[in-house]
Amino acid sequence: MVYAIALTHTRCQGDADDVFQDVFLTYHRRQPAFRSEEHRKAWLITTTINCARQVAGSSWRTRVVPLPTGEADAAPAQFEFATVEQNALFAALKALPDSYRSVLHLFYFEDLSIARIAEVLDLTVSTVKMRLSRGRALMRERLTQGVFDD
A 10 A CB-CB count for 142 gives 18
Q: Which amino acid is residue 2, in one-letter code? A: V
- Residue-range domain boundaries for the chain: 1-63, 82-150
What pLDDT score was predicted for residue 115? 92
What pLDDT band is residue 18 in, cutting at 50, 70 and 90? confident
Alpha-carbon span 142 to 149, nearest angstrom: 10
Instruction: List, for residues 82-115, the tens digit of each pLDDT value.
Output: 677 777 777 788 888 888 988 998 888 888 899 9
Contact assessment for residue 24 and residue 129, using Cβ atoms and an 8 Å cutoff? no
Just give the CATH number of 82-150: 1.10.10.10
Residue 49: half-sphere exposure toward Cβ, Cα within 13 Å: 16
What pLDDT score was predicted for residue 31? 83
The verdict on pTM exceeding 0.85 is no
